[in-house]
Structure 1
Amino acid sequence: MKRVILSIAVFSLMAACNKEAKVDETVDTTTSDSVVIDNAPVGEGSIATFQKVEWSPEETSKMLGKQNNDTLYVTNFFATWCGPCVKEIPHFKAKMAEMKGQPVKFTFVSLDERSEWDKALPKFVAEHGLAPHVVVLDGSKLTPEFFPANFKKWDGGAIPFTLMRKGDKTDETLGSMSEEMLTEKLNSFK
C-alpha cells in the first residue's frame, strides 16, 4: 500500500514541479516494433519532423512486454527537466549511430506534463535529434499496478529508468548511465 501511495505522490510531484521540457521518442504505433528508425543521421531531427505519439498505459505495457523476435528493445523513461536524464542522452545517441542497421530499437518515453507536449518538448527533441524515437506518456494515467506488472525494480519513484529486453532476457537500470555502463549493458545482449 505504501508503494502505491508513494508512486502516486511521486508522479503528482513530478507533474507539479515540471516547468521545463521533457524528452520523448516518437514511435510508429502502426508496426509491431517500438521504434521506426529513419535514414536521417542521429542528431538531424527538427521541430517539423517531430510527430507527437502518445502511448496509453496499456500500449506502453504491450510495447514493454516480450516480443517474439531477435530485436533488442531499449526503452528509456525520462523528462527534459531531469538533469541526469539529459546527461545520458549523448551516450544513447552514440550507441544509436553505432548500432544502426542492427536489430535494436531505441525508444525514449517522455514523462513531461501534457502542457509541455506541444511547447517545449518539440524544441527539445529537435535540439537533441531524437524526433523519430520519442513517445509521450501521461504519468497521471498510470495506476499503482502499472509498475509491478511491467518492472522488477522500478516503482516509478525516480528517473531516468532504462529497460532493455531481448526475448526473455531483461535488464533494468535506475539512474543515469555512463557511456561505459551503457556499452556493457548493450553488449550483454549479444
Structure 2
Amino acid sequence: MKSTKLLYGLLALAALLLGILAERWMSGGSSVPPRIAEPASLRDLDGNPREIAEWKGKVLVLNFWASWCAPCREEMPEFVRMQTELGDQGLQFVGVAIDESEAVQEFLKETPVNYPILLGGGGAVSWAQSLGNRFNVLPFSAVFDRDGQPVDVHAGPLSRERLMKVVGPLLK
C-alpha cells in the first residue's frame, strides 16, 4: 500500500517536472530573447539600408508581419494609435515585413502606418527565429529597452494590454 502511494507520488512529480520542462521548451525557456545581430539586408520602402541601432535610446517594438497575415493586419491599427500616443515618451514601433515590396506598398496604401516599415527579405525569418520565434508564427514581436537589450518576445497577435505591461515601465 505504501509503495503504491510512493509510486503514484513519484509519477505525479515526474509529470509535473516534464510539464514544466515542456512549457519552458515551448516558450524558449524565457520570454527574453538572446541578443542577436540583425540581418544585413534590411531596407526601407525606398530601398535605403536601415539599421535597428538607429532607434537606440527608444523603447523599440520590432514587429515581424506580412501583408497576407490577417492577425498582423488586425493589430497594426493599435500600433499606430500607440505610436501616436506614446512616441513622445520614447516608444518606437518598427515593422519588418516578410513579404515582397510591391505587396507591402499596396497594403500600406489601404492601411497607412506612422512608423517605419522595413523589408526584411529572406534574412528576416532567420532573424525572427533567432529572437525566439521557434515556430515561424506571424505576427511576432520583440521588445527592446532603451539600451537595445531585448526584454520580451511575443508570438501571435499582441494586445495593447499585454504590450503596455512590458513597455509601460520602460517608458518611465
Which range, TM-score by smaller chain? Answer: 0.5 to 0.7
Which of 174, 181, 185 in structure 1 is aligned with 2:155? Answer: 174
**Contact conserved, 2:59 with 2:92, CA < 8 A, in 1?**
yes
> Which AA in structure 2 matches 1:88?
E
Looking at both structures, which has the greater relative contact order when contacts are Cα pairs under 8 Å and sequence separation is at least 6?
A: 1
Structure 1 residue 176, shift from structure 2 partner: 0.4
Structure 1 pair 81–133 and aligned structure 2 pair: CA distance change class (3 A): same
Which stretches in structure 2 are left out of the alignment for 5+ residues? 1-41
**Secondary structure at 1:187's aligned position in 2?**
helix
Counterpart amino acid of residue 113 in structure 2: L
Match of 2:97 among 97, 104, 110: 110
* Alignment partner, residue 67 of structure 2: 80
1:158 lines up with 2:137 in the alignment: yes
> Is residue 142–residue 150 contact of structure 2 (8 Å, CA) maintained in 1?
no
**Equivalent residue, structure 1, for 2:29:** none
- Cα distance 1:143–1:175, how it changes in 2: closer, same or farther (>3 A)? closer
Pairwise mapping of residues 130-149 of structure 1 onto structure 2 (< 5 A)? 130=113, 133-139=116-122, 141=123, 146=127
Q: Aligned residue for 1:52?
A: 46
> Residue in 1 aligned with 2:104?
121
What is the CA–CA distance in structure 2 between the aligned matches of 1:54 and 1:75, rounded to whole Å? 18
1:92 is aligned to 79
- TM-score by structure 1 length? 0.56
More helix by share: 2
In the aligned structure 2, how far is the partner of 1:165 from the partner of 1:86? 22
Say if 1:54 and 1:137, in contact at 8 Å, map to a contact too.
no
Aligned-residue CA RMSD in angstroms?
Answer: 3.1
Match of 1:101 in 2: 88
CA distance 1:54–1:109, change in 2 (3 Å) = farther
Between the two proteins, the alignment pairs up a number of residues equal to 128
Report if aligned partners of 1:52, 1:135 keep a CA contact under 8 Å in 2: no
Determine which of 164, 168, 172 is the counterpart of 1:183: 164
- Give the TM-score of the pair, scaled to structure 2: 0.61
Question: 3-state DSSP class of the match of 1:101?
Answer: helix
| CA–CA separation in structure 2 for the residues paired with 1:92 and 1:102 | 15
Identity over aligned pairs, percent = 21
